[in-house]
Amino acid sequence: MLPILGPTTARDAIGLVGNVFIDPVYQITHNTEISNGVIGNSNYSEHNYYYYRGTGAVDFRAKNIESFDSVEKNSIDLYASLKSLYLQNRSKKIANSQSVVETQDDSDWEEIDTN
């Protein structure tokens, strides 16, 4: 866990640096030609990038508040649970996996009832 940045691995922490410079919003707000009005609108400034990133974080938290509360309520060790969830999600993204969790359907219950 990194302060403010959240859960990450060494690989991802290094990638965060590169991602900042590739981010188009960062380029618009930090590029002096664009932000000074030579090419575009002079309304773009450096602090707008931080507003963008901050509101994105608040929006993510708001969309997932029920999931966070559930994990917090049902875990014995919150840190270990979050670390495990993060690493599982990260390995799925690295493998570019589109796997779906298989669940039981009604026919499975009929099979159990007849036995």
Domains in the chain: boundaries: 10-95
* Average pLDDT of the chain to the nearest whole number: 75
Regarding pTM above 0.85, the answer is: no
For the CA atoms of 14, 94, 63, 17, what is the dihedral angle to 10 degrees?
A: 10
Q: E strands, the chain, where?
A: none
pLDDT beyond 70 at 17: yes
26-76 tens-digit pLDDT: 777 766 555 455 455 555 677 777 787 788 888 988 998 998 899 899 989
By mean pLDDT, which of 6-10, 65-69, 85-89 is the weakest? 6-10
Phi, psi of 105 (to 5 degrees): -110, 180
Q: What percent of the chain has pLDDT over 90?
A: 8
Residue count (the chain):
115
